[in-house]
Structure 1
Amino acid sequence: MNSFESLPPQALRWQCDADAFDFDTSDQLDALEDIIGQERAVEAIEFGIGIEGSGYNLFALGPMGTGKHEIVRHFLKQTAHQKPSPPDLCYVQNFEKERQPCKLLMPAGRGMELSEDMENLIEDLKGAIPAAFESEDYQSRHNAINQEFRQKQQEALTQLEEVAESRDIQLLRTPEGIGFAPVVDGEVIPPDQSDQLTEEQRERAEEAVEELEEMFRKELQSAPRWERERREKLKELREEVAKTVVEAPIGELCDKYAELDEVVDYLGDVKEDIVDHAEYFVLAKRAEHARMVSLAPDGEAGALGAAPEQSQGEDESAQAKKISFRRYMVNVLVDNSQVDGAPVIYEDDPTLDRLLGQIEHLAQYGALVTDFNLIQPGALHRANGGYLIIDARKLLMNPLSYEQLKRALFSEQIHIESAKQVMGMARTVTLDPEPIDLSVKVILLGERELYYKLDQMDHEFGELFKVAADFNEAMPREGNLQSYAKLVAAFSRENDCAPLDPPAMAQVLERAARLAGDRDKLSTHSESIRDLVREANYWAEQNGHEVIGCDDVQQAIDAQERRAGRVKERLEEQIERETLLIDTEGSVVGQVNGLSVLSIGRFAFGRPHRITASARLGKGELVDIERESELGGPIHSKGVLILGGFLGSRFGKKMPLSLTASLVFEQTYGGIDGDSASLAETCALLSELSDAPLRQDLALTGSINQQGRVQAIGGVNEKIEGFFDICKQRGLTGDQGAIIPASNVKHLMLREEVVNAVSEGQFHIYAVRSVDEAMQLLTGVEAGERDDEGDYPQETINARVARTLEGFARRVRRFHRPDED
């Protein structure tokens, strides 16, 4: 094939043969058993799941839509099913340190069982304990203890009265307390009549009163001891009665959970606390009785026996407010009764609270209060003993979540802390739950750029995420057509879509090759293929088709492009109305049509740019106007510098380059990056220096190296189609076309419309390997090769460029040294 022949139609697009599929509709295809196109990632996932050890967590990296989440979850579920279910996670009251609730680990399903048992126990004791304290036995023993105390008081007073009587003194009981008065001739002498006594009588009476008051003070000093003894006896009585009531039901629970030592110890603590606070059960019953009395008609509410001794200085209503039986409940943080094997949890909102759990508060009597029942689990709790999947970008977008996740993985413990506590800003008293041991494998999902940045900037990241599962964007086409067809059929079934016929399946596979940007590969961006199947099914329904056909698939593709094509159509309109200047006929010196790709969201399209070059006397400078105006990116600037290297290498070996050249993308007002325009910029500059007009009915793309070789670029299909659409708008002449790097031919997957135009000779695609080939196509003039003396054949492009540069050098030399003229 002549190097300047346009590419044949068969080189422009891979055509999938529908006859290669041995089915009438895709629902006849078997289910796909293996995951295709991601062998490396699958191996890494299997390794990461299977290996035990600290830090062997996974990071699944690759573009969104490649099925990372589905594939990871698929393997996790397979593995999780073979592992034992983790224990239930519970928190219970710490009766010694109430701010530090105790964890309780129980076999899966036993946590809720214990919780229900404790609720039933407390409900039973709410009736049994008050009934015991209302019994005749308790009341008689209670009254006996009180009577004993009163008897001691009475005996002390009787003894005091007898002594007073022997000393002619009367003991008086008054509202203010105990008093003494002298007795004369059997009559009590009041204090206001003491002047009736003789001096001797008065002195004897005062002496007797002093002795009696001393005796009374001694008796008073014994009263607190007697009161303590009374309270101790009453407390022992209450404990004895409470133990009698509690012993049997708690003993039954201890027998039921005998194999769980932690539960038995907890039940023992519960028993002691109930015995110590038995009066709360009576006060609760009295409070409930009082409420019923207030609601019931007069005379219908029954009486309730006396409560046990109350706390000193506190009335019954105040104590009733303190009564809470929540302290005996079991907070089942994670119930694994329904989990078959190890849990697989995906946390889609990894805030600190949702990741590590939180402690909620209730408003009560004007204050915020909390207890262990308000501890809420996080994703780490639910995934403990299994696997946790998190989107890496979402994790990093939530303050503190990433650092606290690392802390948990390093310490292998879950500490429940609020954001304020983590930042050291908390000033209020709250709970400090006992940490829970952590055994979990974390899988982060994210883009490659995110993985590499974390690995580079966080030295701890590599210690915790030692396994990278790298997902491919594309897979080889050869040998995978049938498997890919099964994958498409699976997408159809999963989404309740109509089956595809063979031509439609072929169309989908061709689209997969286009998305891969390579005719020899198929895209693994499963979400795009799934969307295409769903949308093709929609159009099939609209068209009344029971089976998705080729036209339905093409309609779906066209509709996708139509929905996203507003900007593309607007630019094409501006070119058509000559607001943006693009020529598609004629020839111009120093002007060429370059091609670029614009990406708007997920939609990419090509558009032509007018690139111009100018040259003048100078010092060998190459001015990139885009860079000087700060609109050019670093890769574009690199391409221009490579252009300067090529120019110097080819034409600056015999003489210095005495020119200043300017390059610019005309009518661009935004940023430009990439080196795919360096071929077009080189041709524009060579045209300017050789005074050779360039064809405007051709557009070109490609990067170059310093030897003038043309290199591959990206977006070749979109670029060609962008120029084709402009030419089609203005009318195809049969001379128009595009020039691309020869190394990009394997990437061609052009629209059928473009391929048909090439077949009809209305449009042409040329593949070039060097700048010289591109210049010969654009000018129709031989580029020329050096002879043995380093000179180019006369009237070739390179000879004309060299002659121009030699003229620049002479004029610069004469300008600086006029005496040598």
Structure 2
Amino acid sequence: MSKRRKAEKGPAPLPPSALYRVCDSARFDFATTADLPGDFDGPAPALGQERAVEAIRFAIGMRHRGFNLFALGAEGTGRRSLILDHLREAAAARPPADDWVYVENFAATARPRALRLPAGRGRALERDMAHLVEELGHALPAAFEAEDYRARRQMVESEAKQQREAAFSAIQEDAEAHGIALVRTPGGLGLAPSKGDEVLPPDEFKQLPDEVQARLRAEMERLQERLEATIKQVPRWDRDARARLRELEREAVGRAIVHLMDDLRRAWVDLPEVGAYLDDVARDVALNAQDFLPESEEGEHRGEGRPRGPDGRFRRYRVNVLVCREGETGAPVVMETYPTQPNLIGRVEHIAQYGTLITDFNLIKAGSLHRANGGYLVMDALKLLMHPFAWEDLKRALRDHEIRIESPGQAMGLISTLSLEPQPIPLDLKVVLVGDPMLYYLLSHNDPEFGELFKVSADFDWHMERSETNTALLARSVAALARKEGLRPLDRGAVARIVEQASREVADSTRLSTHMASLADLVREADYWAGDAGAQTVAASHVERAVAASIRRLDRVRDNVQDEMLSGTVHIATDGEAVGQINGLAVLELGRFSFGRPTRVTARVRFGKGDVVDIEREVLLGGPIHGKGVMILSSFLASRYATELPLALSATLVFEQSYGGIEGDSASSTELYALLSALADLPIRQGLAVTGSIDQFGRVQAIGGVNEKIEGFFDLCRARGLDGSHGVLIPAANVPHLMLRKDVVEAAEAGLFAVYPVESVDQGMALLTGYPAGERDAEGKFPSGSINRRVAARLGAFMRRAEDLAMPRLSGGLGRNGGGG
């Protein structure tokens, strides 16, 4: 008993100060956040994201191609806002990007031309062309109504008419001189014998002498040949006349629009591409001048396949301003929230007209690549990858340095109908993708082009050091949020409580969370509760209430689980002692809320073949990491107690009343304690719970969720009544991670609950059983009365039993051999 009492003193419980690291509000040099300075100069400092900020600045400054940026990190760490702040700062120092417009390609209508214009001049060209069309609508009809034009046109038409009439008159005179009449028939002009002014009837012609008939026939054949030759000349004369008319029209149009086009050319003389386009416009107007005449039937049928309307004939002279930078003072920064393929690279729309879909260059619409060209484009990587063709078209644009508007059907060759092929636009921009780390690593591994196009990664951390500098920056960030959103100022106690909660969120008293979204929500909720209490400033009590309220909204399942334990439906013992039974600790995660759940682990041992059976694994409820922990447990057992002889042991381990999957190795020490208790036949104190993984040397290693695990067991013990015998064994490596609830700390201060740091299995067994673990002496033996001595003795008994069972078979076999001899 003396040894047992001595062992009970083992590792001392942690002092209450080690269970929760308090933020001393007296260190703050302000009464409320209203006393802190205003907004930061330039982008707000990224709390704990120095590495990511360096990468962002490098990507922005690197002008070579391929140095696009992928920002990887957890959602809520402020990736987007930080990136946008730095991009806007860099964009403000750069000149505005160019305007881009599409205009008609008069040589190939299906291939509209793209024109680059200085920032803000796209609208000016659009207005100038609209004004030109309006002026042409007045100038050209007036030109065609001018006396000089009408007289010259009439002269050309008269000359053409006279030429035709003179030719036919000459034939008629020749025919009359030879007794032949030139007559008009439904089939055209014809020849017939005549008598005076009358056509000779056929009967009378047959009565003429044969030589007369022969002469008339010969003359008619000659005249017919002459008539046919003249008729063949008529279309050529008409063409010549129309050509002269067109030339006349061009001269009239030229005189009418020369001053208009000269004014336009002078306004755009600094842009040769626009000048060339205006020359094409002048030529097309001259060729299609009839379109400007109000009663021109010819113009009504021009431009088939184009959208119709009041100005349908003049759409080809419009300017489609794809991107306009008018009023912008720096490079563009575009955040594309819905990165579909058309929203990214642009699209060509269609209009239904007479049951047919038609289009022209005016229906070309810009994508986010066009709007961000010359600047920066930010997108969510997951959303981009979820939309068909968007990722591939983005890579093609970045690889080819141009934006090519093409529908998915065209790209895959599924559409054979005629459509527009707009001239590609040169691309020069920086793309920033925002996503989680797993997505970044998957792209890096599976897409060979990804690494060439996104050479820079900004890795956002989820926590930062809890230093005075970072604490002060966190306070300023809270002040900036309160000021920006019109919240009540927070006093220094409230800020201190937020700092403590930031450590709690990352389960590390030496770190602070960089998940600014959750901290901002905490400030907003605390402001709400301050308003509910009628306070003018937010105090620590309001922050505490916000934390409690957020848990209250999510802890229904936790309460139900505890009710099952308190009612005995789920058996968890919190007093007394039991052999081969121990309280393990698990964490259940339900969305954004996680809580600890005690679970009963039992072990049974018997003589066998050295098998340690994990029932969870056998029934496929245990995951691979859990299975690894059990195998490490088996290795430790064999290396400590059976270095020279095999284990003659069969053992079973199970999580009692567990009906779901088990994963993780944080219960491996718990299972080993239960197994050693069963082997040593020593009871374990049920008022203690255990967590921690082990290595092959019996060292207890750190685990996750330590705060939730401790609090889960504490809640059960408190509900049943704390008496000072309750506590939890945790790995000593987890001590810096402790940020326990206030009620747990208060119970520890009152001596009603304890948290023990354990470094080895031997320490844990000593605390759980009250007996010393014992170490091997110089002869390799464990001391009498120790736990290890009892375990070794039990295993030795199993070994001797195995030898006893093997010897009779061996000796019997020898006896039979001897008798046979």
TM-score when normalising by structure 2 = 0.94
Matched, 1:5 2:12: yes
Partner in structure 2 of residue 129 of structure 1: 140
Change (3 A) 1:309 1:492: closer
Change (3 A) 1:819 1:205: closer
Whether the 8 Å contact between 1:595 and 1:701 is mirrored in structure 2 is yes
Cα offset, 1:79, TM superposition? 1.0
Q: Structure 1, residues 674-732: CA drift from partner, whole Å, max 9, x if none?
A: 11111101111111111111122111111111000011111111111111111122222
Equivalences for 1:486-525 in 2 at 5 Å? 486-525=476-515
Q: Structure 1, residues 187-239: CA drift from partner, whole Å, max 9, x if none?
A: 43133643343333322222221111111001011111101101111111121
Matched, 1:459 2:470: no
Q: 2:422 aligns with which of 423, 433, 438?
A: 433
Whether the 8 Å contact between 2:299 and 2:313 is mirrored in structure 1 is no
Matched, 1:579 2:569: yes
Give the letter aligned to residue 376 of structure 1: K
Matched residue of 1:279: which SS? Answer: helix
Q: Structure 1, residues 322-377: CA drift from partner, whole Å, max 9, x if none?
A: 95311111111111113221111111111111111111111111111111111111
Partner in structure 1 of residue 157 of structure 2: 146
Partner in structure 1 of residue 633 of structure 2: 643
Partner in structure 2 of residue 474 of structure 1: 463
Partner in structure 2 of residue 302 of structure 1: none
Partner in structure 1 of residue 344 of structure 2: 355
Matched, 1:408 2:397: yes
Aligned length: 797
Equivalences for 1:178-189 in 2 at 5 Å? 178-184=189-195, 187-189=198-200
Matched residue of 1:815: which SS? Answer: helix
Q: 1:170 aligns with which of 165, 177, 181?
A: 181
Whether the 8 Å contact between 1:611 and 1:680 is mirrored in structure 2 is yes
Q: Which is further off, 136-145 or 430-439?
A: 136-145
Matched residue of 1:576: which SS? Answer: helix
Cα offset, 1:488, TM superposition? 1.4
Partner in structure 2 of residue 63 of structure 1: 74
Give the letter aligned to residue 499 of structure 1: P
Matched, 1:105 2:116: yes
Whether the 8 Å contact between 2:291 and 2:300 is mirrored in structure 1 is no
Q: 1:730 aligns with which of 720, 742, 754?
A: 720
Whether the 8 Å contact between 1:65 and 1:526 is mirrored in structure 2 is yes
Q: 1:754 aligns with which of 714, 719, 744?
A: 744
Change (3 A) 1:691 1:163: same
Matched, 1:742 2:732: yes
Cα offset, 1:566, TM superposition? 2.2
Cα offset, 1:319, TM superposition? 11
Partner in structure 1 of residue 89 of structure 2: 78
Q: In structure 1, what is the Cα distance between the partners aligned to 2:48 and 2:176?
A: 114
Whether the 8 Å contact between 1:280 and 1:323 is mirrored in structure 2 is no
Q: In structure 1, what is the Cα distance between the partners aligned to 2:262 and 2:302?
A: 35
Unpaired segments of 5 or more residues in structure 1? 287-306
Change (3 A) 1:660 1:313: closer
Change (3 A) 1:198 1:184: farther
Equivalences for 1:86-97 in 2 at 5 Å? 86-97=97-108
Q: Which is further off, 468-477 or 103-112?
A: 468-477
Whether the 8 Å contact between 1:495 and 1:534 is mirrored in structure 2 is no
Identity of aligned residues (%): 49
Cα offset, 1:596, TM superposition? 1.3
Matched, 1:686 2:697: no
Cα offset, 1:59, TM superposition? 1.4
TM-score when normalising by structure 1 = 0.94
Give the letter aligned to residue 571 of structure 2: L
Q: In structure 2, what is the Cα distance between the partners aligned to 1:669 and 1:769?
A: 31
Give the letter aligned to residue 371 of structure 1: D
Q: Which is further off, 394-403 or 64-73?
A: 394-403
Give the letter aligned to residue 468 of structure 2: G
Q: 2:757 aligns with which of 750, 760, 767?
A: 767
Matched residue of 1:564: which SS? Answer: coil
Matched residue of 1:324: which SS? Answer: helix
Partner in structure 2 of residue 229 of structure 1: 240
Q: In structure 2, what is the Cα distance between the partners aligned to 1:602 and 1:126?
A: 68
Matched, 1:51 2:65: no
Whether the 8 Å contact between 1:597 and 1:604 is mirrored in structure 2 is yes
Cα offset, 1:311, TM superposition? 9.8
Q: In structure 2, what is the Cα distance between the partners aligned to 1:723 and 1:193?
A: 137
Change (3 A) 1:206 1:322: farther
- What is the aligned-residue RMSD (CA, Å)? 2.2
Partner in structure 2 of residue 295 of structure 1: none
Q: Which is further off, 589-598 or 142-151?
A: 142-151
Matched, 1:421 2:432: no
Q: In structure 2, what is the Cα distance between the partners aligned to 1:64 and 1:680?
A: 35
Matched residue of 2:599: which SS? Answer: strand
Q: 2:27 aligns with which of 8, 20, 29?
A: 20
Give the letter aligned to residue 529 of structure 2: W
Q: In structure 2, what is the Cα distance between the partners aligned to 1:793 and 1:820?
A: 35
Change (3 A) 1:808 1:677: same
Change (3 A) 1:308 1:431: closer
Q: 1:449 aligns with which of 434, 438, 445?
A: 438
Partner in structure 2 of residue 291 of structure 1: none
Q: In structure 1, what is the Cα distance between the partners aligned to 2:94 and 2:33?
A: 36
Change (3 A) 1:591 1:338: farther
Q: 1:671 aligns with which of 636, 652, 661?
A: 661
Cα offset, 1:739, TM superposition? 0.8
Matched, 1:557 2:564: no
Change (3 A) 1:410 1:612: same
Q: Structure 1, residues 764-788: CA drift from partner, whole Å, max 9, x if none?
A: 1111101111111111111111111
Give the letter aligned to residue 326 of structure 1: R
Whether the 8 Å contact between 1:814 and 1:820 is mirrored in structure 2 is no
Partner in structure 2 of residue 659 of structure 1: 649
Partner in structure 2 of residue 266 of structure 1: 277
Q: In structure 2, what is the Cα distance between the partners aligned to 1:186 and 1:50?
A: 100
Give the letter aligned to residue 24 of structure 1: A
Q: In structure 1, what is the Cα distance between the partners aligned to 2:308 and 2:188?
A: 31
Matched residue of 2:553: which SS? Answer: helix
Q: In structure 1, what is the Cα distance between the partners aligned to 2:538 and 2:303?
A: 81
Partner in structure 2 of residue 301 of structure 1: none
Give the letter aligned to residue 22 of structure 1: D
Matched, 1:808 2:807: no
Q: In structure 2, what is the Cα distance between the partners aligned to 1:435 and 1:332?
A: 15
Matched residue of 1:781: which SS? Answer: coil
Partner in structure 1 of residue 816 of structure 2: none
Whether the 8 Å contact between 2:56 and 2:458 is mirrored in structure 1 is yes
Cα offset, 1:796, TM superposition? 1.6
Q: 1:617 aligns with which of 600, 607, 610?
A: 607
Whether the 8 Å contact between 2:332 and 2:376 is mirrored in structure 1 is yes
Give the letter aligned to residue 666 of structure 2: S
Partner in structure 2 of residue 332 of structure 1: 321
Q: In structure 1, what is the Cα distance between the partners aligned to 2:365 and 2:475?
A: 46
Partner in structure 2 of residue 281 of structure 1: 292
Q: Which is further off, 488-497 or 704-713?
A: 488-497
Q: In structure 2, what is the Cα distance between the partners aligned to 1:332 and 1:602?
A: 47
Q: In structure 2, what is the Cα distance between the partners aligned to 1:725 and 1:310?
A: 88
Whether the 8 Å contact between 1:133 and 1:139 is mirrored in structure 2 is yes
Whether the 8 Å contact between 2:10 and 2:767 is mirrored in structure 1 is no
Unpaired segments of 5 or more residues in structure 2? 1-7, 812-821
Whether the 8 Å contact between 1:741 and 1:768 is mirrored in structure 2 is yes
Q: In structure 2, what is the Cα distance between the partners aligned to 1:313 and 1:245?
A: 22
Equivalences for 1:180-259 in 2 at 5 Å? 180-184=191-195, 187-191=198-202, 193-259=204-270
Cα offset, 1:592, TM superposition? 1.1
